[in-house]
Amino acid sequence: MEYNRKLILEDGQEYCGYGFGSNDNRVCELVFNTSMVGYQEILSDPSYTYQAIVMSYPLIGNYGMAEEDYESENLTAGALIVHEYNDLPSNFRSTATLSSIMEKYDIPGIYGIDTRKLVRSIRDFGSRKVLITDAGTTKEEGIDILKKTEIPKDAVSKVSCQHIWKSKVLLGDGLAKAYKTHKKHIVAIDCGMKKNIVLSLNRLGLDVTIVPWNTSADEIRNLRPDGVFISNGPGDPEDADVTIATVKELIGEYPIFGICLGHQIISLAYGAKTYKLKFGHRGGNHPVKNLETGKIEITSQNHSYAVDPESIKDTPLKVTHLNILDKTIEGVSCENDRIYSVQYHPESAPGPQDSRYLFDKFLKMIEG
């Protein structure tokens, strides 16, 4: 079968393959994920907005798509790049093929390429722009398109909810822990929040009011929360300037917990700085050391930016977690302000469940 789709990187590299999903041509940021399973949760994670995801595991699509496993209702990933695509899933929970869902949400895909070579290229030369296009597009045409196309900076506003909504505790769902005293209520600032984060908070016995990324501090105070949560999300954390200003104003008033982009926003609100990693951390196998316990956690991660360790020294924040592989900061806290955050994903969808205790810590902080 003749190749019908192509990847063109901004440094001139080309990879030819076969299309699945949408036939759209798309310019994205090129990233890779090392997870062996969980392509549905990865594809539906809002943090992948405007990104073309290279799956390092070779076989994708073999268990289809299940209704219960989406992390958002609107899929916003830029593209999906795989070695071998299976369009005949074998799974009793599957209700659709991966290709049909990608076509529904206008996400182009390409398979049949050497993903090992492509992942190695990203590791060696870093994340960069890529064009997914028809096989007939020349290298010169592709590079010209890449030069003229900028990755948008509106990722958080694109994926955040537009209106306030609520997710209440289900009494039958594990008889939520917080009913030992009385039910608590938190506000979650949605910067691109995954569904399983909301469910993890509900399972603690917390009613959650989800608000848009640009909600003001006064609007949050009017909701009378017992605590505030800041979610994960896509893009450069400095682009979420309105959220940073809101968190800065709320520091010390409520217990605050942040995950991923929320971790970066908290650090920026304290005056620290962030920087872009060469190729980011994405996958379900990243080792992190808890500096308070000495234990190693295997974590699920998805981020392009990290907190600058030198800038932390000028803030009240204490580093609580470090990445074993590259020593980047994976967690911070300030006990006096009842605030803490982690760079990785303790809700583990997909990924290991080593870090679920972080949600329990939030509940204890609220009850305290």
Calpha distance 259→229 (Å, rounded): 8
Tell how far CA 150 is from the center of its chain.
21
Q: Which of 135, 199, 137, 349 is nearest to 260 (CA)?
A: 349
Q: Is 263 helix (H, G, I), strand (E, B) or coil?
A: helix
Amino acid, res. 53:
I
Instruction: Check residue 316 and report its DSSP letter.
Output: S
Q: What's phi and psi for 289, nearest 5 deg? A: -100, 125
Backbone angles phi, psi at 223, to 5 degrees: -85, -5
Helix (H, G, I), strand (E, B) or coil at 44: coil
Q: In this structure, are strands 274-290 and 318-323 parallel, antiparallel, or unpaired?
A: antiparallel
Neighbours of 15 (CB within 10 A): 22
CB 31 within 8 A of CB 54: yes
Q: Are 29 and 7 in contact (CB under 8 A)?
A: no
Active site (catalytic) residues: 260, 345, 347
